[in-house]
Amino acid sequence: MKTSNLTHSRVTRENLLAFAKSVPGALIGLKVAALLLLLEGQRPGWIAQVLGLTRMGLNRWIRAVLVCILFFVSATVYGADYKNPQLLASPADIEKNKGKWIVLDCRDPKTTKNKYTGQVVKGYNDGHIPGAINLGGDCSEILRDDKSRVKKTEDVEKILGDAGLSSDKTVAVYGDTKVIINNAVGYWILEYMGQKDVRFLNGGVDAWEAAGKKLETTPTKLKATKYTAHVVKNRIATTEEVAKIAKGTVKGPQLVDSRSIEEFNGSVAYAKRGGHIPHVALHVDSVESYDKTTGKIKSMDELEKLYGKLDKNKRVIAYCQTGTRCALTYLEFRLLGFKDPANYDDSWIIYGNDESLPVEK
């Protein structure tokens, strides 16, 4: 009999059970032990005898252990899934639903330079996902006014309708990973407008190319429609609502600051005053929530580490400087399964400049 490196040459049922106990989960450990012994050269009939099984039963055990190994390896590698995983689309999802989904490229038509980082961002005309449409500008700009506030509903309806969107369709939003927050603004505004189904291409156009898929430069134009919004009011937080939380007259909603730590503590300010809104529940810099190389949102487990102290059953409101970075935080709250997430569209650019409102540092 061949000697196993896991057992003595005189293998007994007791030896096998002892080994099984060293593997987490006694039943699974027993199955693993049986499979390992089989792979080590033990005769199947002998193993079946040790385990008190028929040869057919042994085969079933081996199949079961393979399933268990696959399950636990998958759980280790990928971790827990999001509560709402359908909100994120993959290149394969986009390709599979070609002709069914409207794919919205949230970039500017032409190559631009990010005014904050100096990075060059290629535009829609430089190459886009085949069949994708463009609104004629960056979603974070064309759908908002010059103060970075979402435009009036009728104005957004006109822009979306002219582009060929209708609120009863599935829309997949994407852009460049360098400006993931701008793409998230497009996602949030569509959800705020009551779009039936909005998806976010995780990793953007970079993920599409990384999957070996080609881009096209010929613009896609859809027939104009009459877009009818069904505004979901609870997806936006107003300054009036936030002021009540800051003053302590309303308790329960959770405020989350998505800015940098320097903005949060007031050492850097982009308004008349620096600091943060009183009674903020949590500060998480938005750049900590996604991979800066791939532009992909972090896993469920990683997001839970960032936002785990929050109560998913209570209203949660994200804010930043202009409502841009916190649009990404809003999307992450949706992925995590928060019941009532909202984006504070006015954010610090309005709040920090209103000296009648309280501030903490």
Crossing angle between the packed helical segments 44-51 and 26-39, to the nearest 10 degrees: 160
What Rg do the C-alpha atoms of the chain give, in angstroms?
Answer: 27
The C-alpha atoms of residue 2 and residue 72 are separated, in whole angstroms, by: 29
**Cα dihedral sign, 346-168-175-105:** negative
The single residue of 68, 106, 139, 320 carrying the catalytic annotation is: 320
Q: Where are the beta strands (DSSP E) in the chain?
A: 88-89, 102-105, 112-113, 120-121, 133-134, 170-174, 197-201, 236-237, 254-257, 280-283, 315-319, 340-344
**Cβ–Cβ under 8 Å, residues 214 and 155:** no
**Measured CA angle at 83 (ends 79, 149), to 5 deg:** 120
C-alpha 87 chain-centroid distance: 8
Around Cβ 190, how many Cβ atoms within 10 Å?
25
Q: How far is CA 89 from CA 138, 156, 200, 204, 300, in A?
A: 20, 24, 6, 9, 15
**Cβ–Cβ under 8 Å, residues 74 and 101:** no
Active-site residue flag, 320: yes
Structure token pair of residue 23: 């593997």
Phi, psi of 253 (to 5 degrees): -60, 145
C-alpha 220 chain-centroid distance: 27
Structure token pair of residue 298: 């972090």
Phi, psi of 78 (to 5 degrees): -100, -20
**Cβ–Cβ under 8 Å, residues 168 and 177:** no
Around Cβ 147, how many Cβ atoms within 10 Å?
10
Structure token pair of residue 331: 């999307």
Active site amino acids: 320
